[in-house]
């Protein structure tokens, strides 16, 4: 009960600060004595701070002081391994981004080189985080693929061609900092529900639209892990039994119609068939150097080939989403990840397909919106994952971080 109250109070403070003890008590339905005891403990630990006197809402005999999360109660490191770049941030607990670095891995030849680049950026992030002389609450690492988060093993990242990669050696020299690994969509869902638009719904689906289409299913504000923590591999839903070969080995997975590679392939085919595109100039004729960044740049400049490729991917995204609306009856679908930058270009195609295919009652009760953090959703999700773990066992973890 004590830990449950701690987690509830901290998460509520994060989304509703500044707020008084009395308001916390009435909003959370926890009695005032328990709130007082728990808040005293959190203040002593430096996790929560008191600020000013609240004007207007003053209880008789008890000046009402507001409470908020202390952003300087620690530092968080988050790393997102994407298809063409690694992004790292150091944040406070608010979470304000205090330092950010992106490194391209577009020219990296193999997994050894990518892991070596990842380790270097982890080293640098840890050095930056240590320079604040504050507790480091952990390092969240978001990856595209199927993960065993207990052993920090990437079981498979089909699009990268990786299998059974132990990620613990990435922390060599920084073993005192706790590593939290997670799938890009699970972390995106965690970030959106904690810091983005709060998913105050019974049922929501977060879709990471990028290298793969993957999902984080949210029920009652919690990301559903599934039996082995592997739920949400929605991109491998079979759409066409005789379709293109998916990187997973199956044919006709949803991914093959709507992921990043499918967009690149459509653009390459259009160019081979004689259409002209700004992407030819941007890649200096080396179309194999196509990236999502160049597709977006071209789309913003009105390039018809880029816009059409995004539009077709959007239609296929809508086809798959319609299936999930019928299966899960979600109240909300949130689209994040690298291709979500194109949300405004594709939302009408997505909705057109959904309106045609989803059952009308389920469709009526479902809203679709872009992720609050768009392409940074999984990065902020990695921050949220670290903080979520602190919230669920805050005092012990803060103590541990302080002694590290
Ligand atoms: Zn597949």
* pLDDT tens, position by position, 4-13: 677 678 778 8
Q: Which pLDDT does position 118 carry in this prediction?
A: 96
**Cα of 88 to ligand 1 centre, how many Å?**
29
Using the mean position of ligand 1's atoms as its centre, give its distance from the Cα of residue 251 in Å.
7
Contact, 334 vs 206, CB < 8 A? yes
Ligand 1 centre to CA of 332 (Å) is 25
Distance 269 CA to ligand 1 centre (A): 22
Token couple for 178: 């706790």
44 vs 135: which has the higher pLDDT: 135
Provide the pLDDT for residue 79.
98
% residues pLDDT > 70 (the chain): 91
Tokens of 261: 């590679």
Quote the distance between the C-alpha of residue 339 and its chain's center: 13
Give which of 264, 225, 320, 268 is closest to 106, Cα–Cα.
264
Question: Going by DSSP bridges, is the β-strand pair 75-81/136-143 parallel, antiparallel, or unpaired?
Answer: parallel
Question: What pLDDT is stored for residue 11 in this prediction?
Answer: 72
Distance 158 CA to ligand 1 centre (A): 8
Q: How far is the CA of 236 from the centre of ligand 1 (A)?
A: 4
Task: Kindly state the average pLDDT of the residues 11-36.
Answer: 88
pLDDT, residue 400, reads 58
What local confidence, expressed as pLDDT, does residue 109 receive? 74
Q: Measured in angstroms, how far is the CA atom of residue 256 from the centroid of ligand 1?
A: 8
- Measured in angstroms, how far is the CA atom of residue 159 from the centroid of ligand 1? 9
pLDDT band at 397 (very low <50, low <70, confident <90, very high): low
Which of 80, 64, 69, 93 shows the shortest CA–CA distance to 17? 69
Reported as a single tens digit per residue, the pLDDT across 349-362 is 999 999 999 999 99
Calculate how far, in angstroms, residue 352's C-alpha sits from the geometric centre of ligand 1.
25
Interval between CA 250 and ligand 1 midpoint (Å): 5
Q: Is the pLDDT of residue 394 over 60?
A: no
The segment with the largest mean pLDDT, out of 118-127, 189-198, 225-234, is 118-127
pLDDT of 53 > 60? The answer is yes
* Spacing, Cα 212 to ligand 1 middle (Å): 9
Q: Is the pLDDT of residue 66 over 80?
A: yes
Q: Which residue is it, tokens 């960044």?
A: 293
- From ligand 1's centre to the CA of 257, what distance in Å? 11
| Euclidean distance between CA atoms 179 and 148, whole angstroms | 13
357-371 average pLDDT score = 95
63 Cα: distance to centroid of ligand 1 (angstroms): 60
Residue 83 confidence class, pLDDT cut points 50, 70, 90: confident
Assigned token pair, 284 = 């200096």
What confidence tier does 1 reach under pLDDT thresholds 50, 70, 90? low
Indicate the SS3 state at residue 9: helix
What is the pTM for the complete model shown? 0.86
- Per-residue model confidence (pLDDT) at position 160: 85
What are the pLDDT digits (tens) for 200-247? Answer: 567 899 999 998 899 999 887 778 888 888 898 999 999 999 999 999
* Model confidence at 308: pLDDT above 60: yes
* Residue 266 alpha carbon to ligand 1 centre in Å: 19
| Statement: residue 60 has pLDDT above 80 | no
Question: Which tokens go with 287?
Answer: 């179309």
Which residues have CB less than 5 Å away from ligand 1 (the ion)?
Answer: 236, 246, 248, 250, 253
Confidence of residue 192 (pLDDT cuts 50, 70, 90): confident
Give me the chain's average pLDDT, please.
Answer: 89
CA 231 to ligand 1 centroid distance, Å: 14
Half-sphere exposure of residue 229: CA atoms within 13 angstroms, side-chain side: 16
The CB-side HSE value for 257 (13 A sphere, CA atoms) comes to 23
> Which two structure tokens, joined as six digits, stand for 160?
């990268």
Ligand 1 center–CA 162 separation, angstroms: 14
Q: What is the DSSP string of 307-323?
A: HHHHHHHHHHHHHHHHH
pLDDT digits (tens, 9 = 90+) for 271-284: 999 999 999 999 99
Quick one: which of 385, 193, 34, 52 has its CA closest to 9? 34
Q: Is the pLDDT of residue 300 over 90?
A: yes
Of 126, 224, 232, 118, the residue nearest 175 (C-alpha): 126
Give yes or no for residue 265 having a pLDDT over 70: yes
- What number is the average pLDDT over the span 333-348? 94
pLDDT of 290 > 80? The answer is yes
CA distances from 227 to 188, 231, 273 (A): 20, 8, 47
Q: How far is the CA of 234 from the centre of ligand 1 (A)?
A: 9
The C-alpha atoms of residue 79 and residue 169 are separated, in whole angstroms, by 15
Contacts by residues 22-28 (CB-CB < 8 Å, ≥ 24 positions apart): 22/57, 22/59, 22/64, 23/57, 24/67
| Residue 81: closest CA among 378, 282, 396 | 378
Mean pLDDT, residues 74-97 taken together: 93
């Amino acid at each position: 009960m004590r830990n449950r109250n701690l987690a509830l109070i901290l998460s509520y403070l994060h989304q509703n600060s500044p707020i008084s003890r009395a308001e916390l008590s009435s909003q959370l339905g926890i009695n005032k004595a328990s709130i007082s005891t728990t808040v005293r403990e959190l203040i002593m630990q430096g996790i929560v701070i008191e600020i000013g006197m609240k004007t207007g809402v003053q209880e008789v005999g008890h000046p009402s002081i507001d409470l908020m999360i202390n952003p300087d109660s620690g530092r968080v490191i988050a790393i997102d391994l994407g298809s063409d770049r690694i992004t790292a941030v150091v944040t406070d607990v608010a979470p304000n981004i205090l330092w950010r670095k992106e490194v391209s891995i577009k020219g990296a030849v193999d997994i050894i080189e990518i892991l070596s680049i990842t380790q270097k950026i982890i080293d640098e992030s840890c050095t930056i985080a240590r320079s604040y002389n504050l507790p480091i609450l952990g390092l969240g690492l978001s990856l595209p693929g199927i993960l065993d988060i207990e052993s920090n093993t990437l079981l498979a990242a089909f699009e990268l061609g990786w299998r059974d990669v132990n990620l613990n050696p990435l922390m060599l020299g920084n073993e005192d900092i706790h590593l939290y690994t997670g799938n890009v969509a699970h972390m995106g869902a965690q970030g959106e529900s904690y810091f983005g638009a709060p998913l105050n719904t019974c049922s929501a689906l977060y879709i990471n639209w990028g290298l793969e289409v993957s999902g984080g299913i949210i029920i009652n504000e919690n990301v559903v892990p599934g039996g082995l923590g592997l739920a949400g591999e929605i991109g491998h839903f079979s759409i066409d039994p005789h379709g293109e070969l998916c990187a997973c080995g199956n044919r006709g997975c949803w991914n093959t119609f709507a992921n990043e590679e499918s967009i690149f392939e459509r653009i390459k085919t259009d160019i081979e068939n004689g259409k002209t595109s700004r992407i030819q100039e941007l890649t200096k004729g080396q179309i194999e150097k196509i990236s999502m960044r160049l597709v977006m740049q071209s789309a913003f400049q009105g390039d018809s080939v880029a816009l059409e490729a995004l539009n077709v991917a959007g239609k296929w995204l809508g086809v798959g989403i319609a299936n999930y609306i019928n299966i899960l009856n979600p109240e909300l679908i949130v689209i994040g990840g690298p291709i979500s930058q194109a949300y405004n270009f594709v939302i009408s195609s997505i909705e057109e397909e959904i309106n045609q295919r989803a059952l009308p009652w389920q469709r009526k009760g479902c809203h679709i919106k872009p992720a609050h953090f768009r392409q940074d959703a999984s990065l902020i999700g990695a921050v949220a994952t670290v903080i979520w773990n602190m919230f669920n066992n805050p005092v012990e973890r803060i103590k541990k971080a302080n002694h590290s």
